[in-house]
Chain A
Amino acid sequence: MQTLIYGMLGLPFVFALIAISGFFSNRALHILNRIIATIVGGIFVEMLMQISPGEVFNSEYFYLDALSIWVLLIVIVLYVASAWVSKSYLVREHKMGYLSRTPKLIGRYYALYHMFVLTMMLVLLLKNLGLMWVGIEATTLISALLVSFKFTRSALEATWKYIMVCTVGICLALLGTMILYYAQLTATGTEKALSWLWLSQHGDLLNPSLTKLAFLFIFIGYGTKVGLAPMHTWLPDAYSEAPSLISGLLSGALCTCSLYVLIRNLIIVIPTIGTAFIMDLFFVFAFLTIAIAVPFVVVQRDIKRLLAYSSMENIGIMIVGLGIFSSISVGATLLHMFNHALIKFVLFYIAGTVIQEYQTKNMMRIHGMVQEAPHTATFLLMGMFAILGMPPFGLFFSKFNIIFSLFKNGQYLLGSLMIFLLAGILIGILYHVMRMLCGRAKRKAYADLLDHTDTPFLAVLLIGSIALGMGLERIPYLNSLLLEASQIVVGGVHL
């Protein structure tokens, strides 16, 4: 098991070094990238075989239980999918012209991309809260380099904002972790410093007011990284300026990782603080996030910013799910994470293709896609229905459970407010997508670019989200994994 983990972490690191060295040609890099991704996927599957959902793997630095396997699954799925899809994306980008200026850019792209996924996997595997913080800080820095990959003016601006806001947030989180460590010191001495397993078992010994202060800092810190309301300002800029695949990973995998770390801290803190204060805190920030997303979705020009704000809205829903803290709602939040990651990746990829086809990000100038590019249009339509939480796709079921548990909790007004805010989001997104799809095409599209290599992957991801939503009970392994994970979050760790 230990060797598997080392293998999984080592491979991307090695490939990153190879890619940066510029030793291989671009074509070789494309193929090598795919091989590495599939091998890592294989190793992960092998790990799944060895460890059944109920079991826990505990070693000196690494800790693996159902919750981290679930989030790791999300990251790995996105990793393999984007690896297979990036070749056609980069080739098109190359044809479009801007990539052709400096030869080694594709190598640099692959290196940063693999390092990015490596750091995310590291965050999910580590046991120590401090090291988790280090991992999260590393993801921020590497993804910053990826966001500023094109080094255009707006990319620079977006990266600067991304780094400043996130590092400020992360510092607050570090302060929170320090205070938590201080609380652990005063309560149970110095051994097993900040180890998550130890803290989650002895959570109730900690001094309540100290842990509350610590959790406030941790919540604001990792809240910035997740993209909660007042600290969300970096999110639209970073997602709209990054290359499409990377923004797909950012919104799908990175946001899920930071949410994972927030959940880890939440499990420690709940026994002492109790759920009352936490629920209000989560509700306030979640509803603020969704409310802020609505105006930006209704009046919007840029297609990727539209998707960024819809990610914000989904983050708000997840935080509400966490806030209710009942087993149904937490299970629904984890399911929501998986669905959202899949669908958001597909949508960002399609947005990238649309931008390459029409040479513009401005949605106001894209019309008549149904005639011009029917292939992309159908996928865009399906993606839009998926992200708006329409039934056949998985998001509907997780949204249904979260809102129902909100009603079950007695907050009728909050539930109704949330449903109408989601209707507001629909008004915005639907209008923009309809403008793009229908009507007569004024600008000639470059071509129907969604060719045969990547459509099967998108189709597989969408069908996966349908399967996750409709027939989760039928999938044996995933279902028990989800139940076990939500049990960990709600019931505290039982070894």
Chain B
Amino acid sequence: MDISFYNYFLFPFLQMLLLAAFAPLVSGIIKKTKALLQNRRGADITQDYYDLRKWWKKKTVITPYTGFVFMLAPFMYLLSTMLAAFLLPNMMSNLTFGDIFVFVGLLAIGRFFMALSSFDAASAFGGMGGSREVYVATCVEPVMLLAVLTAILKSGSTNIYTMALNNGNQINVAVVLACIAFFILLLSENGRIPIDNPDTHLELTMIHECMLLEYSGRLLAVIHLASMIKNMLFMVLFSLIFLPIALPLAIKVIITAMGIALMESLNNKMRLFKIRAYLLATGGLLLLAIVAQ
């Protein structure tokens, strides 16, 4: 394992940019498949790029009460997801410093700053979004760690790269259970349908959307880009570690995108306090997976 500059720094950086570039495309695919499933034409796959460019040009409107956290939060959200992308193993170099707990920790930075920003605008809805985000995070975190534990038990080490190496070789009960559980985790972490409806603006139901209410212009674009990257990250992680099919990465990501779209069109948003029982069940699945290991 030669620790050269390329292997250690350049390739992960390139991979990060690659992921950032393709993230809007994947979310476009999800929207497109969802539209087709509900047999309407839906917007073009690259619609998200246009949205980002539109927001990019607009001026940002801020309220007089905002402080430095309001400005800092979008950037920190983007930074944490980028760093998380930086940690993912890439095809070009087999480096070993991508630790799963650091990955979870970095995502937590993003969540921390988004929840903080919801306070800064001194509006009612911001606080509501922040408190719900923290509530969902509290329900998700233990289940996420259990999923990480199953992956560790399967691969024998906490490094994402080694986890990815020995995935997809055999299908048994534990692997299937872990796969289903992580898929549910993916949905809840990125604010997909069963937990939170991504494309609604109804004040009372939205969780993720609430926190962005006060943002506009370029800051809004940054936040959307960051959440798209986070979505992309989870899909890559899911397909790398938990999806037992032996196919190249890109196809696997598209399949997961299709799966998400299918899931979203099949059922609707759950009541807020049902999430606790829902994630408890996923935790139960994972416990079974651990015991069956």
A/B contact in complex, CB under 8 angstroms: no
